[in-house]
Amino acid sequence: MTHRKSSARGPQRTCVQCGAVREKGGLLRIAGKPGMGWEPDPGRKLPGRGIYLCSAGECVERFAARIRTPKGGARWKMGVGGTELADRLVASRQGGQEK
The closest of 1, 15, 99, 4 to 57, measured between CA atoms, is 15
Residues touching Zn ion, count (CB under 5 A): 6
> Which of residues 13, 17, 52, 82 is near Zn ion by CB under 5 A?
17
d(C-alpha 85, C-alpha 91), whole Å: 10
User: Per CB under 5 A, does 85 bind Zn ion?
Assistant: no
> Which of residues 18, 21, 36, 56 is near Zn ion by CB under 5 A?
18
Chain residues binding Zn ion by CB under 5 A are 15, 17-18, 20, 54, 59
